[in-house]
């Protein structure tokens, strides 16, 4: 792409927190952004150049976005890949490729694709009936993870079956076969890690420092960077990430989530073909953020050399359990009085229990130092709503 980057129009399918942070990064280079989102008051609405209000699966709205832009990307994988494929065939530049997106949208197909390319994953099976699920429990034992093949995130669309008594309940909870389902053998992992990696159109690669993820109720609560793993595990994870990006022919920033076992094996769990919550630490923690790297990737600019600035932790700000309605942030003044604390509040109008509404990155000379401040921040910053439930 040889045109002046300040004259390029980038379209983003999705104006949530990831889209907003991408726009903020791109505005440093004078890039013009058009966003498609179902909500007129989405987080990116206040800073984007143009906003198209429409559903992520609406062919006419997606085509309208394409007509306005030189390059299209997306912040969210649950979108109309078929329309994007048609647009790509007609000459529109779309990164990551919608063909790559389609491989990832179906979790069972994603696992089959990875397995066929000798990338280690947990054992799995596609489930077509309750009888299939009963047989899978006999094969794999419990605990066993039942998943919707499409559409799940933050634990939605997942059910961890802990006993035989939960089989029918799990099957009903995930639609009783209305949607395609799969089971995945439970991996007794010691750590969950993420590898955030950028790949350019020419195939050049840059990897961010491995990060370690702590979840609660299937929602990411904390990311620790760098991950507390040894060199053997780190090397395996990076090699797996590079191989995954190459076989997918990924362009842009991807997040590859992995399990580390007691035997120091590394298995790929899931792939996000986009910037990711666990990569938010890169904004202050690294020499270039995941958002800046993504923009460089899709615009055929040289990838930034990645260096870790300092160690630290990132914690998600979630809506308090007993509130919903118009969101109110409290405790920011006290938290920001601490050194090396960086608040990112997404500007979502409403809150509900455990909804992601922001994050805080805390840097330190050591991870332990960052942990100490993080504990204070967690007990200080809250997001409440106008209605108590």
Say whether both 340 and 283 belong to one domain.
yes
Contacts of 206 by beta carbon, 8 Å cutoff, 6+ apart: 197, 198, 293, 303, 304, 305, 306
Q: Are residues 367 and 314 in the same domain?
A: yes
Which pLDDT does position 35 carry in this prediction? 98
Residue reference for tokens 């009085």? 337
**Which of these, 147, 134, 157, lies nearest to 184 by C-alpha position?**
147
For residues 69 and 130, what is the distance between their CA atoms, to the nearest angstrom?
A: 46
Residue 376: exposure state from Cβ atoms within 10 A (0-12, 13-18, ≥19): middle
Instruction: Say if 26 falls within a structural domain.
Output: yes
Do 354 and 205 share a structural domain? yes
- pLDDT of 177 reads 87
Structure tokens at 34: 């058009």
**What was the pLDDT predicted at 5?**
85
In this predicted structure, what is the pLDDT of residue 6?
A: 81
* CA 147/CA 170 separation, integer angstroms: 10
Shared-domain flag, residues 178 and 202: no
CA distance linking residue 145 with residue 132, whole number of Å: 14
* Rounded CA separation 22/30 (Å): 12
> Domain check: are 247 and 367 in the same one?
yes
**pLDDT at 155 exceeding the cut of 90:** no
Q: Which residues are annotated as a binding site?
A: 107, 147, 184-187, 192, 215, 269-270
Q: Which of 165, 185, 205 is a domain's end point?
A: 185
Q: In this structure, are residues 256 and 244 in contact, taking their beta carbons and an 8 Å threshold?
A: yes
Residue 106 lies in a domain: no
Same domain, 290 and 307: yes
* Residue 318 included in any domain: yes
Is 110 inside any structural domain? no
Same domain membership, residue 356 and residue 217: yes
- Torsion sign, CA atoms 109, 112, 117, 121: positive
In a domain, 158, yes or no: yes
Q: d(Cα 104, Cα 196) in Å, to the nearest integer? A: 16
User: The domain that contains 253 carries what CATH number?
Assistant: 3.30.470.20
Residue where a domain stops, chosen among 185, 201, 228: 185
Inside any domain, residue 116: no
* Residue 69, phi then psi, degrees to nearest 5: -125, 160
**Average pLDDT of every residue of the chain:** 96
Which residue, 77, 94, 111, sits at the end of a domain?
94
Question: For the chain, how many structural domains are there in total?
Answer: 3
- Place 248 in a pLDDT band, splitting at 50, 70 and 90: very high
How far apart CA 172 and CA 181 sit, in angstroms, is 11
Q: Residue range 160-183: average pLDDT? A: 95
Mean pLDDT, rounded, for 228-247: 97
Could you tell me if 239 and 382 lie in one domain? yes
| pLDDT(217) > 90 | no
Tokens of 303: 């990838």
Give the separation between CA 233 and CA 7, rounded to whole angstroms: 43
> Which pLDDT tens digit goes with each residue over 331-376?
999 999 999 999 999 999 999 999 999 999 999 999 999 999 999 9
Same domain? For 181 and 207 the reply is no
DSSP 158-169: EEEE-SGGGHHH
Residue 50's domain is classified under what CATH number?
A: 3.40.50.20
165 and 267 both lie in a single domain: no
Q: Are 71 and 301 in contact (CB under 8 A)?
A: no
Q: Is the pLDDT of residue 134 over 80?
A: yes
- Do residue 148 and residue 53 come from a single domain? no
Binding site listing for ATP: 107, 147, 184-187, 192, 215, 269-270
Give the distance between the most distant pair of CA atoms in the chain.
Answer: 62
Same-domain status, 355 and 212: yes
The alpha carbon torsion through 240, 241, 247, 249 (nearest 10 deg) reads -170
24-60 per-position pLDDT tens digit: 999 999 999 999 999 999 999 999 999 999 999 999 9
Percent of the chain surpassing pLDDT 90: 94
Determine, yes or no, domain membership for 218: yes
Comparing C-alpha atoms, which of 305, 204, 212, 192 is closest to residue 251?
204
Range of the domain at 18: 5-94
| Cis peptide, bond prior to residue 96, ω within 30 of zero | yes
Select from 183, 158, 148, 141 the least CA-distant residue to 78: 148
CATH number of the domain that 140 lies in?
Answer: 3.30.1490.20
In a domain, 309, yes or no: yes
Strands 93-94 and 124-127: unpaired
pTM score of the predicted model: 0.95
Question: Which DSSP letter does residue 141 get?
Answer: -
* Per-residue confidence (pLDDT) for residue 156, from 0 to 100: 77
């Amino acid at each position: 792409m040889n045109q002046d980057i300040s004259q390029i129009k980038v379209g983003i399918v999705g104006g949530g927190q990831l889209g907003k942070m991408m726009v903020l990064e791109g505005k440093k280079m004078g890039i013009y952004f058009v966003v498609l989102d179902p909500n007129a008051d989405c987080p990116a609405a206040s800073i984007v150049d143009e906003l198209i209000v429409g559903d992520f699966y609406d062919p006419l709205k997606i085509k309208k976005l394409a007509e306005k832009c030189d390059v299209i990307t997306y912040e969210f994988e649950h979108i109309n890949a078929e329309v994007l494929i048609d647009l790509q065939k007609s000459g529109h530049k779309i990164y990551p490729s919608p063909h790559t997106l389609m491989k990832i949208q179906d979790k069972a197909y994603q696992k089959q694709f990875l397995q066929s390319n000798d990338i280690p994953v947990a054992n799995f099976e596609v489930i077509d009936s309750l009888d299939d699920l009963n047989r899978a429990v006999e094969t794999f034992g419990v605990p066993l993870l039942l998943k919707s093949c499409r559409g799940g995130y933050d634990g939605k669309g997942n059910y961890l079956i802990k006993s035989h008594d939960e089989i029918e309940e799990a099957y009903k909870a995930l639609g009783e076969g209305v949607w395609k389902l799969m089971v995945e053998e439970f991996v007794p992992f010691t750590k969950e890690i993420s590898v955030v990696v950028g790949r350019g159109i020419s195939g050049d690669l840059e990897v961010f420092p491995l990060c370690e993820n702590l979840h609660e109720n299937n929602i990411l609560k904390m990311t620790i960077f760098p991950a507390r793993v040894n060199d053997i595990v780190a090397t395996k994870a990076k090699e797996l990430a590079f191989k995954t990006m190459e076989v997918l022919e990924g362009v842009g920033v991807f997040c590859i989530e992995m399990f580390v076992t007691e035997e120091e094996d590394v298995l790929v769990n899931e792939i996000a073909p986009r910037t990711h919550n666990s990569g938010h630490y890169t904004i202050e923690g690294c020499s270039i953020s995941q958002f800046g790297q993504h923009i460089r990737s899709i615009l055929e600019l040289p990838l930034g050399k990645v260096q870790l600035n300092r160690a630290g932790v990132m914690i998600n700000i979630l809506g308090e359990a007993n509130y919903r309605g118009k969101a109110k942030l409290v405790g920011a003044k006290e938290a920001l009085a601490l050194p090396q604390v960086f608040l990112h509040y997404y500007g979502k109008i409403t809150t509900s229990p455990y909804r992601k509404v922001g994050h805080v990155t805390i840097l330190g000379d050591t991870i332990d130092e960052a942990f100490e401040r993080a504990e204070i921040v967690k007990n200080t910053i809250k997001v409440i709503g106008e209605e108590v439930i």
